Amino acid sequence: MAQNSSRMAGRHFLHIPGPTPVPDRVLRAMDTPMIDHRGPEFAKLAKKCLDGIKTIFKTTNPVIIYTATGTGAWEGALVNTLSAGDKVLMVETGQFGALWKKMAEKLGIVPELLTTDWRTGVDPKVIEARLREDKNHEIKAVCVLHNETSTGCLSPIAEIRKAIDAAGHPALYMVDTISSLASADYRHDEWGVDVSVGGAQKGLMLPPGMSFNAISDKAIAANKTAKLPKSFFAWDEMLAMNKVGFFPYTPATLMLFGLDTGIEMLHEEGLDNVFARHDRLAEATRRAVKHWGLEILCRDAKYYSPTLTAVLLPEGFNADSFRAMALETFNISYGASFGPFAGRYFRIGHLGDINDAMLMGCLSVTEMALQLFGVPIKKGGAQVAMDYLVTAHGGAKKQAAE
């Protein structure tokens, strides 16, 4: 009979939708002696990172790098562009949409919240209709999430821009791209976003603790008149210091070494290939889930997220207990559930430095865990995912050509 053991052999399967697995190469880049953050070596590193991160957001404007988690960059976006009492239009696509709104309230902003059933992305028509009603242009900003991490729904950022323009509305456009940047196509300049909020611990493959504001000329102009109090998150001092390769405070030096390497790796693979890989892994996951006979929380295929899939368990099965059992038995972590669906779904993260082999480990284990937990599934979902991946890689055609 097996003894009780405190050690689990093999590696942990981290399938939460961020923090994502940090590649060894990034870890090694961060494993380096401390340098003077006012010295020439630092300035060189900082300038490289400040230039490099622009290529990820696809902007020619400055990107602010905060030594803070994504929540800090949310705050940076709001306090640098708005004044107390300003009205903003926000959408509760899920838990993170709700949290950003809560933050806005605490800061003295007046959010108007459009709600959803937490199973779709943002409908551009709804934004356009609300903005058309706002004849006096009281709404100063439209704030949406590109990818709602709590539900696995992706919103159409370019179309929402078109909706704002169609309404002829001058509101700033702010987008949270924390769980989509460097894993789903994102274009700050081309899509006319004024402030893009990013985070380190997802597609960028870094540990948590660094976040970003990509900013447009219009956002920089708004910053000149925005009256909300700000100090640590203020853009002006940061922009002035960044010009010469420094920060107004001691930045997370080792994270910058990691960021530099993460950006280098993304370009070595090619951003379009990175996006295609995420699309492929997401599609394989969804095919497995559908074969099992389980429901995907995102109920409309046009909003499917390429970075995570939230899976509803049937009535009577507690998803938190399922996650605990899977962790204990198979050393795998899934994301938790929130809000009206708390306890009803688990989230499979398939973003960051992850490949087909890692995904198949995850899906095979998930199929076993579901069976162990007694969920009535149709076996063979992992096989269906494998069949899809074979096809996606060229299938029999590739063999025949050789």
Sequence-distant (≥ 6) Cβ neighbours of residue 5 within 8 angstroms: none
Judged by CB under 6 A, the chain residues 37 through 76 that form the site for ligand PLP are 69-71
Residue 369 · residue 322 · CB < 8 Å:
yes
Closest separation in Å from C-beta 212 to ligand PLP: 11
Smallest distance from the beta carbon of 3 to ligand PLP, in angstroms? 38
For position 18 contacting ligand PLP by CB under 6 A, the verdict is yes
178 sits near ligand PLP (criterion: CB under 6 A): yes
| Two tokens, residue 390 | 């074979």
Query: Rounded to the nearest whole angstrom, what is the least distance from the CB of residue 42 to ligand PLP in the complex?
Result: 24
Helices (H) and strands (E) in the chain, counts: 14, 14
* Shortest distance, position 255 Cβ to ligand PLP, whole Å: 13
**CA angle, corner 292, sides to 288 and 297, nearest 5?**
75
In whole angstroms, the minimum distance from the beta carbon of 141 to ligand PLP comes to 16
Cβ atoms of 206 and 26 within 8 Å: the answer is yes
Strands 332-334 and 153-154: unpaired
Single out the residue of 120, 151, 179, 261 in contact with ligand PLP (rule: CB under 6 A): 179
By CB under 6 A, tell whether 123 contacts ligand PLP: no
* Amino acid code (one letter) for 243: K
- Parallel, antiparallel, or unpaired for β 87-92 and 139-145? parallel
Residues 343-372 that bind ligand PLP (CB under 6 A): none
- The pair of structure tokens assigned to 265 is 């790796």
Which one, 62 or 94, has the nearer CB to ligand PLP? 94
Site for ligand PLP in 126-145 (CB under 6 A): 145
CB atoms near residue 318 (< 10 Å) = 14
* Position 96 contacts ligand PLP (CB under 6 A): yes
Binding-site member from 75, 86, 92, 176 for ligand PLP (CB under 6 A): 176
Residue 206 lies near ligand PLP (rule: CB under 6 A): no
The smaller minimum CB distance to ligand PLP, of residues 195 and 385, is found at 195
Closest to 223 measured CA to CA, from 62, 368, 352? 62
C-beta of 20 vs 81, nearer to ligand PLP: 20
* Residue 35 token pair: 């340098």
- How far is C-alpha 243 from the chain's CA centre? 28
User: Using the 8-state DSSP alphabet, how is residue 270 labeled?
Assistant: -
Binding mask 185-204 for ligand PLP (x = CB under 6 A): --------------x-----
Binding interface with ligand PLP (CB under 6 A): 18, 69-71, 96, 145, 149, 176, 178-179, 199, 208
